[in-house]
Structure 1
Amino acid sequence: MEIINCLKKYSDVYYEEMFGSSVTKSSDGFSHASKFLSDFALSTDEYLQECAPKMQKVFKPVGVAEFKICTSPVNMLFQPAYETTLLISSPLFMEDTYHLIQKICQACGDRFLYIVEDSVEDTAFQLKIPVTTSWEQLQSGGFISTVLFNMPYNNYRIFGDSCSWGRWCDYENSWADYEIFGSKCDIPEIKDYLQKMALSLDDYLYMKNNIGFPKSIHVMIDGGRR
C-alpha cells in the first residue's frame, strides 16, 4: 500500500466530518497516523511475496464485486478445507474481540495477523501486525485507527500466518454488517470466539423475520447452529 496516499486520503476534511471529533486532527495526529502505518503497513513487495500467497491458502480469489451475501454460496470465499460460520459483526475489532483473536493466533502458532482491505486502490489497507500488539497500540494511529476500526463501507480479509483460520468482514452491502469466520482446526479458542459473537435467539428471530438470512450458510446462535 502507498502510505503517503493513504495518509492524504484519510486526513481529508471529508473523513473529519464523517467521524466527527473522534477523527479531528491534533497537532501531532498526522505523526501518529504516519507512525502507525510505518510500523504495520506492507510494502508492495512484502504483500506480493509474503502476504498474498498465505491469503490464497485461506481464501479463494473472489472479489467483493463477485460475492453477494444473499445469493452466493460460502464456498466462493474460503478454500474447501475451511468450515464456515456466519456472524453479525461490526466494527472490525472491539477490544474484547481483538483479545479473542489474539488467543486464536497464539493457539494456532501465528506470529502475525494480516489485515487486507478488499480493494484495488493503492490506499487500501494491507497490514501485518504482530500478535503481541496491544489494543492500545492498535488505537494509537490517530485518524488511521479511527478509519480502520470504525469506518463503514470497507471490506476486509483477516488471517494469521499459520493459515489455520480467516475472517471475511463485509461492511458494504444492503443486508447487514457481517463476517464469515472460516477455520480448519477445532480448538477451544475458536469455539470461545464463535460463542462470543453468536446471535441471541431474539436477534436471530428479528433478522429472520425482518431481514432474512442468506441460504447455505451456517449461523451460530447462542452456541448452536441453525
Structure 2
Amino acid sequence: MKEYDKHLSFYNVYAHMHFSRLVPENNWGNKELAVKYLQKYWLSEHEYLCVWKPIQDKIFVQGKSLPDLVYNPECEVIALRGGCLFIEEDFRQLQKAMEALGEKYFVIIQHSQDFTKGEPMFRMKFPVNITWEELTSGNYISAVLLEMSYNEYFVFGAKGNWGKYSANDYEYPLDIIGFKPELALVFKENFFQTKEEQEEIQEWLPQNYIDLIKIEGSVK
C-alpha cells in the first residue's frame, strides 16, 4: 500500500471537479496521470520527518494559523492576495526567487484544518526547475493541490531561510512569504507591489504581520 493511495480514491470524485480551471470536468478522474504524478512527486513520511520537518520548524511556528503569527519573529514578510496554492504567474515569481537562492527542490506540506479531518493530506516535493505544464500534469491530483480554494499549505526549500504560507481559509485569502532580512531584495524584486496594493492588503492583515513588513524601498 502506498502512502498516497487514499488521495487517489478520495479525490477521484470530488466537488472541486465542477470548478477546476486546470482540468475540465469531463476529463476529471484520469487515474493513470494521477498515479504517475504521485509516483514522481510524493514526499514520503520518512523523508519528511528526517529531512524536511526540521527545516520547516526553523521557518514556521508549528500548530499556528492566521490570525496567529506562523513565522519566527526575526523574519520579514510580504503579503499577497491569495485564494489557492498557485496560479501560473505567482508560481513563476516564486520559481525565480528560488532559483536566485540556489534552491534545488521545494516541498509543499498541507496544513491541517478543522474541515480537513479525515481527508488525506498532501506532502509533495518538486524540483525547482519544474515547468508549469509538468506541475499541473497530475489531472485531478494536481488540480486539487494547486486550485482548492480552502486548503492551506506551507511551501519551503532546503535553505531554511524562507517560506510561503498559503492562508486560503482566512477571512481574506492571503499568500504570506516570510524570509530572513538578508533575502529581502530577492523577494521584493520578484514580488513587486505598488504602494496601493500593499496598503490594501495591510488592511486585511493582523497587526503582528504588519509589524514584520518593511515598506522602505519595496514600493514605487
Report the TM range for the smaller structure's normalisation.
0.7 to 0.9
> TM-score, normalised on structure 1?
0.80
Distance 2:75 2:118 in 1: 28
| Percentage of pairs with the same residue | 25
Aligned partners of 2:81, 2:140: CA distance in 1, in Å?
A: 25
Farther off after superposition, 103-112 or 154-163: 103-112
CA distance in 2, matches of 1:6, 1:108: 32
Q: Is the 8 A contact 2:106 2:125 kept in 1?
A: yes
Contact kept? 1:58, 1:79, Cα under 8 Å = yes
Gaps of 5+ in 2: none
1:49 aligns with 2:46: no
Q: Of 200, 208, 212, which aligns to 1:216?
A: 208
RMSD between superposed Cα atoms in Å:
2.9
1:179 paired with 2:175, answer yes
Distance 2:176 2:202 in 1: 17
CA 182–43 in structure 1, closer or farther in 2 if over 3 Å, else same: same
The DSSP-based 3-state class of the residue aligned with 2:183 is coil
Instruction: State the alpha-carbon separation in 2 of the partners of residues 28 and 90 from structure 1.
Output: 23
* 1:149 equivalenced with 2:146 (yes/no): yes
Q: Which runs of 4+ in 1 moved over 6 A?
A: none
The one-letter code of the counterpart of 2:93 is L
The answer to which of 21-30 and 142-151 deviates more is 21-30
Residue 98 (structure 2) pairs with residue 113 (structure 1): no
Cα distance in 2 for partners of 1:13, 1:96 equals 26
TM-score normalised according to structure 2 size: 0.82
Determine the C-alpha separation between the residues in 1 that align with 2:35 and 2:20.
19
31 and 162 in structure 1: CA distance in 2 versus 1, 3 angstrom threshold? same
Say yes or no: does 1:83 pair with 2:76. Answer: yes
Separation of aligned partners in 2, 1:3 and 1:31 = 14
Where 2:209 maps in the other structure, the secondary structure is: coil
Q: Which amino acid counterpart does residue 177 of structure 2 have in structure 1?
A: F
Contact kept? 1:25, 1:143, Cα under 8 Å: no
Number of residues paired by the alignment?
211
Tell me if structure 2 keeps the 8 A contact 1:89–1:178. yes
Pair 1:132-2:124 in alignment:
no
Give yes or no for contact 2:194–2:219 (8 Å, CA) kept in 1: no
**TM-fit CA distance, 1:23:** 4.9
Q: For the residues of structure 2 that align with 1:102 and 1:20, how far apart are their CA atoms?
A: 21
Pairing 1:101–2:99 present: no
Going from structure 1 to structure 2, the CA distance change for 1:147 and 1:163 (only over 3 Å counts) comes to same
Query: How far apart in 2 are the matches of 1:80 and 1:27?
Result: 42
Q: Distance in 2 between matches of 1:203 and 1:19?
A: 29
How far off is 1:220 after superposition? 7.8
In the alignment, which of 152, 162, 167 is matched to residue 165 of structure 1? 162
- Structure-1 residue corresponding to 2:38: 37
Q: What's the CA shift string for 1:47-74, capped at 9, x where partnerless? A: 11111111111111124xxx332xx3x3
Q: What is the SS of the residue equivalent to 2:207?
A: coil
Structure 1 residues 44, 122: CA separation in 2 closer, same or farther (over 3 Å shift)? farther
